[in-house]
Structure 1
């Protein structure tokens, strides 16, 4: 895989803004905890309209208007003209941060949203959470412990062939072969206040109610072990 040089390296958490459905309150609350804002292409216009100036705007600029471009310092504009990747991938692969929170990547075009999940699957070591209207989702690390309430939904959706083990779920996953065209794990449920997940290979997406994306979950994701380097290629 071609080496991509980062255009933003920060110790702060990053809010990545896309062009999908955006809840203004969700964006505001996310920026409070992830104050470094990056906009994917034309989403920069929405950021400015809501009073936020992006630290970087990354994309092929096919949806970035001249009016918006004129309001952003040139050094913050990262034009990536190639058409082999989406604007989301262009952003994700060029930002280095403890955690990236993505707002505005769900709820609009289905093909765009599916492309986001496909990109996450290809880069499982990126600490990245997609924030939707009701749920959050992220690619599972090799091991993760979730603090939850009994009865809470814990959905597992395989984006590749995956096996693993669990503790604290109503329907344990040990011995099951998951695949996007086979067995999936949506609408599982916590029976304990602590759910332990282990996976043998990358590719499992974890989907939780949005209120579970708290500081503890973020800290656990940041501290989780990485997949071997070859799994990101």
Structure 2
């Protein structure tokens, strides 16, 4: 099941998200609290709205009064996005796309990237997408299919990544090691139709970007 999560983040281009969502064709839509405000702008009907409801507007609440609501207290240990992720996993998602997960609040952006590990831990493909970036965390050998010419950065998260081999890029790596203080995987370029990233230990963040 393919799931889209709308978070209460930054959405710069309505046209981009309309086109992207039509292309993705998700089976299930989750709104994390104020993420419902943007879903309403797109005239989408979520399957569920989850969170403490401190950022959803009164107009949006009224608009979605027939939609299932899962409400939590404001004082809690989880962010609304984390609650939405937990729900997606519980529902049996095999692919999850998080929208609105990046923005001017760097703390929220970093936390949302870290939350992708929830998916790698249970072998669910997941990514954060906005107008300029597509972000994934990898915990194992993975085949990718970015278009030729795509700028891709491959960066370690936490401990050193060892036994790193990447193919399908302008700058390949063979049995390398990468640490957070030596991020030499920045701004590589795809030069084959298929790419592979393999490693023995660690966790990688893969970011496909465009200006």
Q: Shorter chain as normaliser: what TM range? A: 0.7 to 0.9
Among 140, 143, 146, the alignment partner of 1:145 is 143
Q: Deviations over 1:58-81 (max 9, x none)?
A: 112221234432332466111133
Compare 94-103 and 60-69 and name the one that shifted more.
60-69
In structure 2, the CA distance between the partners of 1:179 and 1:56, relative to structure 1 (3 Å rule), is: farther
- In the other structure, the counterpart of 1:231 is none
- In the other structure, the counterpart of 1:80 is 72
Runs of 4+ in 1 over 6 A off after TM superposition: none
Q: Any residues of structure 2 matched to 1:105-144 within 5 Å, and which?
A: 105-124=101-120, 125-144=123-142
The question of 1:58 aligning with 2:56 is answered no
In structure 2, the CA distance between the partners of 1:130 and 1:26, relative to structure 1 (3 Å rule), is: same
Cα distance in 1 for residues equivalent to 2:40 and 2:185 = 39
Cα distance in 2 for residues equivalent to 1:69 and 1:104 = 19
Q: Give the superposed CA RMSD.
A: 2.4
Contact 1:40 1:59 in 2 (8 A): yes
TM-score, length-scaled by structure 2: 0.81
Higher strand proportion (structure 1 or 2): 2
Contact 2:113 2:128 in 1 (8 A): no
Cα distance in 2 for residues equivalent to 1:53 and 1:152 = 33
- In the other structure, the counterpart of 2:17 is 27
Among 84, 87, 97, the alignment partner of 1:94 is 87
Question: Which consecutive residues of structure 2, in runs of 5 or more, have no partner in the other structure?
Answer: none
Cα distance in 1 for residues equivalent to 2:72 and 2:176 = 41
TM-score, length-scaled by structure 1: 0.74
